[in-house]
Amino acid sequence: MQIRGAGALVFGGASGLGAATARRLVAGGAAVTIADRDGAGAQALAQELDARAAVADVTDPAAVAAAVEAAAAVPGGLRIAVACAGVGTPAKLVGRDGPTPLETFARVIEVNLIGTVNCLRLAAAAMSGNDPDEEGERGVCVNTASVAAFDGQIGQVAYAASKGGVASLTLPAARELARVGVRVVTIAPGLFDTPMMAGLPEAARRSLGGTVPFPARLGRPAEYAELVAHVVANPMLNGEVIRLDGALRMAPR
């Protein structure tokens, strides 16, 4: 899939991994729509990049459908969709005051897993109506899991479950959408320098980065974005979950 001239939609695109992805795709010549529940942030970045903006909570079917429709209105239609929106609320199954309220876990699952499915189903439906390229490809969807899907730590039951769900849906989704020429790939980042890390003291950030075998630092959002660009360009990448973690394997805590 060629990035240049393609319509692209980035969910969670106002900050972090999503913002870096939007920048990379714009630099590659895509017509990018930045979708985020933070409408002001999406609009500000869109103005900076000469892109489009849409207000969309990934758990809202109508809002996501509207964002997809806007992104698909460009010449050639929506060809690239990247789902970066997510939450990382930590919670133990049993805390000092007893079992954690079920709603705490449900919200993480709703945003990270159900939200990803919502974006994927609507983007893929739009892509299925595109004219195919010379290899029969109509689009590519890139989802975001986490190494927590495989190495979940204490306090990450909901987060690990949600990201594990994203990893597990990748192959069946790719198999289903193969008939319409839409690829599905998931990236599982390790420790990245995103807004989720921004609240930590600098010493704690350095300490976390030092747990990565090599390079011994936090990942840069631009490195995630560069992998997205490669996934888009390489048609043999399909149905795969790619760890992007510097050989990190998370300890229990």
Using an 8 Å Cβ cutoff, are 147 and 243 in contact? yes
pLDDT (0 to 100) of residue 203: 81
For the CA atoms of the chain, what is the radius of gyration?
18
pLDDT (0 to 100) of residue 154: 94
The whole-angstrom separation of Cα 200 and Cα 190 is: 16
- The tokens of 210 are what? 């030092």
| pLDDT, tens digit only, all 253 positions of the chain | 999 999 999 999 999 999 999 999 999 999 999 999 999 999 999 999 999 999 999 999 999 999 999 999 999 999 999 999 999 889 999 999 999 999 999 999 999 999 999 999 999 999 999 999 999 999 999 999 999 999 999 999 999 999 999 999 999 999 999 999 999 999 999 999 988 777 677 887 888 899 999 999 999 999 999 999 999 999 999 999 999 999 999 989 8
Residue ranges of domains in the chain, CATH in brackets: 7-233 (3.40.50.720)
pLDDT (0 to 100) of residue 208: 86
pLDDT (0 to 100) of residue 87: 94
The whole-angstrom separation of Cα 227 and Cα 76 is: 23
Beta strand spans in the chain (E): 7-11, 31-36, 52-55, 78-83, 94-95, 98-99, 139-144, 182-189, 241-244
User: Residue written as tokens 């560069």?
Assistant: 226
- The tokens of 93 are what? 């199954």
Active site residues: 159
List, for residues 150-202, the tens digit of each pLDDT value: 999 999 999 999 999 999 999 999 999 999 999 999 999 999 998 877 767 78
Q: What are phi and psi of 53, to 5 degrees?
A: -130, 150
pLDDT (0 to 100) of residue 113: 98
pLDDT (0 to 100) of residue 85: 95
